[in-house]
């Protein structure tokens, strides 16, 4: 049978895809790596369907590997005898815990069939929440910015894991970026904040991302712009 890696979306129960919901309802057992994903899953399955997994709060690689090995050892027999699901927020293939599980299963339980159900990732949800258009032809890079890091280079970046917004902000503005932050976007728990002031979100909250765009970037939409009178303006008229 199968282990389904199901992406639950950013956190609101109705942003789980129809397929994600159908598979959640069909499996025998649902595992979740954290409290938030478990809460979203509980909108779609009864508590009795939730499996027990214990993840230590540690960065120690050896302890983490051991925890994933134990988790894979728990999940593998369930996915052999029946169908099981492992849920993650966003998409299972974007900076996700599901990658650890899949690698561990590949190494120790290669006979387990794995299927992924994609989810609405923060990497797309941010655009609507922050009212950003990634226009046709634009490039966009994904980066991580934990602990105040401020990666630079690409014209436009989405930064995940912004845990020290003021420090990240200093680095990015000094390198010539305008930055907007989004905290707890489309989440049922906690307050949603969208701001370009890092002091407003100086308290650490893991569910924070940033969109950084080079200040002098000449953004050229693929279709016409309209002036206040509704007239079409050409590129030459606008400059």
Ligand X SMILES: C[S@@+](CC[C@H](N)C(=O)[O-])C[C@H]1O[C@@H](n2cnc3c(N)ncnc32)[C@H](O)[C@@H]1O
Strand order in the sheet with 141-144: 141-144, 156-160, 208-214, 177-183, 193-195
Residue 207 CB, shortest distance to ligand X, in Å, is 5
Token pair in block for residue 203: 């308290």
Nearest CB to ligand X, comparing residues 91 and 164 = 91
Measured CA to CA, the distance from residue 210 to residue 135 in angstroms comes to 18
Range in contact with ligand X (rule: CB under 6 A) among 77-85, 103-111, 185-193, 222-230: 185-193
10 binds ligand X (CB under 6 A): yes
102 binds ligand X (CB under 6 A): no
Nearest CB to ligand X, comparing residues 27 and 187 = 187
Question: If DSSP codes are grouped into helix, strand and coil, which group holds residue 167?
Answer: helix
Range in contact with ligand X (rule: CB under 6 A) among 20-28, 77-85, 177-185, 229-237: 177-185
40 binds ligand X (CB under 6 A): no
Which residue's entry shows tokens 């779609």? 44
Nearest CB to ligand X, comparing residues 90 and 198 = 90
What is the DSSP annotation of 48-110?
A: GGBPP----S---HHHHHHHHHHHHHHHHHHHHHS-EEEEESB-TTSS-THHHHHHHHHHH-T
29 binds ligand X (CB under 6 A): no
Q: Which residues bind ligand X (CB under 6 A)?
A: 10-11, 88-91, 94-96, 121-123, 160-162, 182-187, 206-209
């Amino acid at each position: 049978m199968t282990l389904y890696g199901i992406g639950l979306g950013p956190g609101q129960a109705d942003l789980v895809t129809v397929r994600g919901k159908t598979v959640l309802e069909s499996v025998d057992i649902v595992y979740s790596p954290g409290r938030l994903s478990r809460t979203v899953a509980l909108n779609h399955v009864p508590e009795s369907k939730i499996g027990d997994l214990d993840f230590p709060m540690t960065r120690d690689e050896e302890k983490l590997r051991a925890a994933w090995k134990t988790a894979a050892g728990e999940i593998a027999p369930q996915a052999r005898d029946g169908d099981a699901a492992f849920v993650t927020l966003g998409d299972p293939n974007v900076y996700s815990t599901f990658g650890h599980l899949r690698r561990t299963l590949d190494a120790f339980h290669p006979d387990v069939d794995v299927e992924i159900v994609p989810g609405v990732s923060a990497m797309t949800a941010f655009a609507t929440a922050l009212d950003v258009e990634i226009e046709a032809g634009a490039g966009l890079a994904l980066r991580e910015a934990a602990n105040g890091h401020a990666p630079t280079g690409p014209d436009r970046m989405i930064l995940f894991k912004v845990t020290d917004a003021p420090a990240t902000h200093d680095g990015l503005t000094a390198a010539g970026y305008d930055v907007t932050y989004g905290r707890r976007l489309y989440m049922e728990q906690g307050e949603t904040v969208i701001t370009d002031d890092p002091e407003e979100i100086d308290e650490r909250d893991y569910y924070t991302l940033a969109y950084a765009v080079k200040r002098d970037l000449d953004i050229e939409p693929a279709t016409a712009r309209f002036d206040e009178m509704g007239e079409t303006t050409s590129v030459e008229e606008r400059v």
